[in-house]
Structure 1
Amino acid sequence: MTAVREHPLPADPVDRVPAQPVTGARDLSGLLPRIARGDERAFGVLYEAVAGPVLGLAHRVLRDRAQAEEVAQEVLLEVWRTAARYRPDRGGVLTWVLTITHRRAVDRVRSAQASADRDRRAAAASPAPVFDEVAEAVERRIDRDRVRRCLGALTELQRQSLALAYYGGYSQSQIAAMLGAPLGTVKTRMRDGLTRMRDSLAVHD
């Protein structure tokens, strides 16, 4: 890891091998056995030759400089740790390194997509119609004092969740993170609290 951190990434991402690479493909192949034995100088030479293409490919897949830099560092660290696994008969060094890069970048995209899908499913499963119905009724007919009185009739846990949603505009996922509670628990608190609020507002209308 020290060897990787000592070499800065290029200032700008590029998608190709530099016009005047530090070393040729044959020399790169010869560096891997030395790197596998912990030769940091050999790794430095390899780093200079592949860092640009690695960052460029990561940036092309991720479209985000910061994430591309993170992936590039992960790739180069993997190369440092797994140099002994390289097999010349399966392709050149740069091809091997870029294959690792593409895999890691795509994995990160898929992870981000999976996270977004989970949030959408959670939102779809939330009692949003009930919440919207109550919120709209409050905005049309009830002033803040009456809302506070209704919130005051709830349990502390229900009041915290609904106050964060109504006054703070936070999503259920954000509320769960702020309260350190499971998302399912927050949903239950909000659903029960909204039911009590709706009943209370109906009584006072």
Structure 2
Amino acid sequence: MTAVAFLPGRSEPPGDLKAVMALVAAGDHEAFARLYDAVAGPVFGLVRRILRDEAQSEEVTQDVMLEVWRGAARYDPLRGEVLPWVMTIAHHRAVDRVRHCEAAADRDRTVAAGSRETPFDEAAEGAGTWMERQQVRHCLRRLTDLQRESVLLAFYQGLTHREVAERLSTPLGTVKTRMRDGLIRLRDCLGAGS
């Protein structure tokens, strides 16, 4: 199909649009040009009243006419006239565009609102983090010295079991056992505190 330039002022008397529509459904380009001339003006007028923006109205009108071309075979002449069928498509497309624009604006507002940081939220988060640290410190104090040192070296300094054993001059098996026992006690202590 070749594109037909949209000219909002162009219009012909409709004639027998049902016969024209049957030809369009069969893929007749000249029939589509006649149909376009007959309905593009009213379609643009309806879309323009809904969108209130000329550029978007022209774009939606072109979309409507493309949909009419592609969906011409769906038109049932027994169910009504061609122009109301086309205008229904136009109305739906225009309303969809309005909804799309509103949804995009809502998303932009949500993103803008979410990017603002509130001091209250930061304070609450900081207080929660401080309380968690205090609880961990309290639970660490309840471990034996070897358990506490092993856990701190492994989890806060990133040392392996072997490196912890070397650093503490303690057999590897003893370090592994103490770390396991220390982690169990930490889990129990932190679980009881929450």
Q: Per the shorter chain, which TM-score range?
A: 0.5 to 0.7
Q: CA deviation at 1:35?
A: 0.7
Q: Give 4+ residue runs of structure 1 displaced > 6 Å after superposition.
A: none
Q: CA deviation at 1:90?
A: 2.1
Gaps of 5+ in 2: 120-194
Counterpart of 2:105, as a letter, is A
Counterpart of 1:53, as a letter, is P
**Paired position in structure 1 for 2:100:** 111
Counterpart of 1:120, as a letter, is R
Equivalent residues in 2 for 1:1-205, closer than 5 Å: 1-2=1-2, 5-11=3-9, 21-24=12-15, 27-129=16-118
TM-score by structure 1 length? Answer: 0.54
Gaps of 5+ in 1: 13-17, 131-205
Tell which structure's C-alpha radius of gyration is larger: 2
Q: Is the 8 A contact 2:32 2:69 kept in 1?
A: yes
Counterpart of 2:7, as a letter, is L
SS in 2 for 1:121: helix
Q: Is the 8 A contact 1:58 1:72 kept in 2?
A: yes
Distance 1:65 1:38 in 2: 30
Q: Is the 8 A contact 1:55 1:68 kept in 2?
A: yes
Aligned length: 119
Q: Deviations over 1:13-63 (max 9, x none)?
A: xxxxx6xx4233xx1011112111111111111111101001101100000
TM-score by structure 2 length? Answer: 0.57
Q: Percent identity?
A: 57
Distance 1:114 1:69 in 2: 21
Q: Deviations over 1:43-84 (max 9, x none)?
A: 111111101001101100000000000000011111111100
Q: Is the 8 A contact 2:44 2:57 kept in 1?
A: yes
